[in-house]
Amino acid sequence: RQRIQKSLSTMGAGGSSLLFVLILFSYFKQRKNNRLLSEKNSQIQAEQDRSEGLLLNILPAKVADELKQYGTAQAHKYDDVSVLFTDFKNFTQIAEQLTAEELVAELDYCFKAFDSIIDKYGLEKIKTIGDAYMCAGGIPLKSTSHPYDAVRAGLEMQEFMNRTNEKRREKGLQEWGLRVGIHTGPVVAGVVGKKKFAYDIWGSSVNIASRMES
């Protein structure tokens, strides 16, 4: 009886130890799985944030939300929008004197500055076409100050180019003259295409702003 009791005690102790090892193994395995899952979720969230950032670089936030929710964005008519155009004087002749890398670097430098300026005044960038830069105020969110904002932005763009040209003169480089045109009136705005989405505006107000600039 004593031998049997001793054997049972030994078996019980061994079983408890084995059970403890199994529980410990299961705990660390679950902990590892939770860590891997957390890392994967962080990666997915980072990719989602990156995609969201890229989408907001292409479309206004309001339009991007509509596109994500419904798969399409409706066109809208706005009765009061300020359209601003810029381009550079004698750009074709300037471009012929620069390498491809120099030309793109110069445009990138100017357009990044323009982006910061229009953000400051709450304007929406529409697109660039070659050396032309186009933005608008009062879309997609309506505003009562957009004519004033567009004019202030245009003046600040000219001030930026004046400072840039001073530095270019000191280096003996050719100056870049900037033309700015603004017109306020009705436009139609919307997203066109199913690839490489583009938010654009149309109407006589756009054409008049372009003529004002030229």
Q: Name the least confident of 9-23, 65-79, 133-147, 196-210.
A: 9-23
Q: Supply the angle between the helices 61-70 and 2-58 in degrees, to the nearest 10.
A: 120
C-beta pairs of 191-195 under 8 Å, 24+ apart in sequence:
191/59, 191/63, 191/67, 191/72, 191/73
Predicted confidence at residue 20, as pLDDT, reads 75
Mean pLDDT value across residues 2-10: 65
Instruction: State pLDDT tens for residues 175-208.
Output: 999 999 999 999 999 887 777 778 899 999 999 9
Q: How does the average pLDDT of the chain come out, rounded?
A: 86
Give me 12's structure tokens: 């019980």
Instruction: State pLDDT tens for residues 144-186.
Output: 999 999 999 999 999 999 999 999 999 988 899 999 999 999 9
Q: Output the pTM of the full model.
A: 0.74
62: left (phi over 0), alpha (psi -120 to 50) or beta: alpha
Predicted confidence at residue 110, as pLDDT, reads 96
Predicted confidence at residue 111, as pLDDT, reads 97
Return the beta strands (E) in 56-119 as ranges: 76-88
Predicted confidence at residue 33, as pLDDT, reads 81
Highest mean pLDDT among 8-12, 64-68, 81-85, 197-201 belongs to 81-85
Instruction: State pLDDT tens for residues 27-63.
Output: 778 888 888 777 777 777 767 666 666 666 677 777 7
Return the beta strands (E) in the chain as ranges: 76-88, 124-129, 132-137, 178-192, 198-202
Q: Do residues 210 and 85 lie in contact, with contact meaning Cβ atoms separated by under 8 Å?
A: yes
Q: Name the least confident of 1-10, 68-77, 205-214.
A: 1-10
As a whole number of angstroms, the distance between CA 30 and CA 35 comes to 9
Q: Name the least confident of 51-60, 63-72, 102-111.
A: 51-60
Give me 173's structure tokens: 């480089």
